[in-house]
Amino acid sequence: MNTHPLGEVLVPVDGFGPSTNAAWRAALVARDLGAPLRLLHVREGVHAEADATLRRLVLEIGERTGVTPQLDTVAGKVLEQTVRAARDAALLVIGPRRGNPLRAMVVGTQAEQLIRLCRVPVLVVKKPATAGYRRVLVPVELVPAARPMIAAAARLARDGLEVLHALQPGDEIGMRACEVPEWVVRRQRQRAADEARAALHGLIAQAGQPRGVRTMVGFGDAARLALAREAAMRADLLVIGKRTRGLLADFFLGSVTQRVLASARADVLVLPRPARAGAVEAPPAWMSPAPG
């Protein structure tokens, strides 16, 4: 069992492109966090060539990043062994592996299955891992659980961090249905945006990030706004939340999480959140504000 105060970064590897890229990203994240890195190779047969490839990968990662990974090889099914190993991890890093399309329609991609089954943050790597994250976008709700999300995003962002909140136009629809004058509708929209922006600044300060964080308040569908902002700011990473509600309720990911995960071009970090909107669970140590 890992005893490092920050916990370990875990990445399942098989010697092929997507998992190798995920391993490089995991190494960069582990270096930035000062956390240990473990590569998990799940054997479903005898693959001497993959073993040699992974041993070379361990050496290359150590030489280029200064992070020396621990390589563990176990027998079994990839999904089962990864979920078991992730119980002791602070962060699980995976590539966008896809299997049978029909199975993916029924039970989800492997990434979606791991996100549902694991109770730890999961980083889905989509882009080539060439450097640390520079521009990070974190869409949040105006709830206490947003604080560790902002802190986690700040730990990974090197240059720019933007916190986004999507306001739903429900009041506007009702006002227009009642033929309220347009200037009243616009004034209400501005007031709602100002209140949301003030709440965002409060959450950012409580997350230990009082300066250097941009805020954005938009109106409309949260997933659509997040994907539009990702493209506009050319984000390297999106940080989103997933409520933990038990295995049965988690059979399907929330629609916002699933849509962002499927459509984002950037890497996506999915953080578990409490089932109740007002609750706050203790986050992993690395999701706390950075010291100093």
User: Is residue 141 domain-shared with residue 201, that is, in the same domain?
Assistant: yes
DSSP at 284: P
Statement: residue 136 has pLDDT above 50: yes
What pLDDT score was predicted for residue 281? 54
- 43 lies in the same domain as 82: yes
Assess whether 193 and 276 both reside in one domain. yes
**pLDDT (tens digit, 9 = 90+) per residue, 18-53?**
999 999 999 999 999 999 999 999 987 656 677 889
Does the pLDDT at position 175 exceed 90?
Answer: no
pLDDT tens digits, residue range 243-280? Answer: 755 443 344 456 788 889 889 999 999 998 755 555 55
Same domain, 98 and 191: no
Answer for the pair 166, 193: CB distance below 8 angstroms, yes or no: no
Sheet holding 237-243, edge to edge: 70-75, 37-43, 8-13, 89-94, 122-124, 267-273, 237-243, 135-139, 160-167, 213-219
Query: Taking Cα atoms as reference points, which of 270, 268, 259, 191 lies closest to residue 225?
Result: 259
**Average pLDDT of the chain?**
83
CA distances from 179 to 5, 168, 192, 193 (A): 59, 19, 19, 22
Looking at residue 56, its pLDDT comes to 95
Query: Does 142 lie in the same domain as 69?
Result: no
Q: What is the pLDDT of residue 103?
A: 40
Are 111 and 121 within 8 A, CB to CB? no
In a domain, 3, yes or no: no
* 154 lies in the same domain as 13: no
Q: For residue 71, give the DSSP letter.
A: E
Residue finishing a domain among 124, 150, 170: 124
The residue from 124, 157, 183 where one domain ends is 124
- What pLDDT is attached to residue 188? 80
CATH code assigned at 40:
3.40.50.620
pTM of the predicted structure, to 2 decimals: 0.86
Which range has the worst mean pLDDT, 4-8, 70-74, 192-196, 229-233? 4-8
Measured from the Cβ of residue 41, the count of other Cβ atoms closer than 10 Å reads 22
First vs last C-alpha separation in the chain: 29
| 192 and 62 share one domain | no
Which residue did the predictor score with more confidence, 288 or 226?
226
292 within domain boundaries: no
Q: Indicate whether 60 and 194 sit together in one domain.
A: no
- Total structural domains in the chain? 2
Same domain, 157 and 80: no
Domain extent for 147: 135-286
> Helix or strand or coil: residue 253?
coil
Residues 141 and 184 grouped into a single domain? yes
250 and 147 in one domain?
Answer: yes
Is pLDDT larger for residue 256 or for residue 149? 149
Does residue 163 sit in the same domain as residue 274? yes
Q: Is residue 248 part of a domain?
A: yes
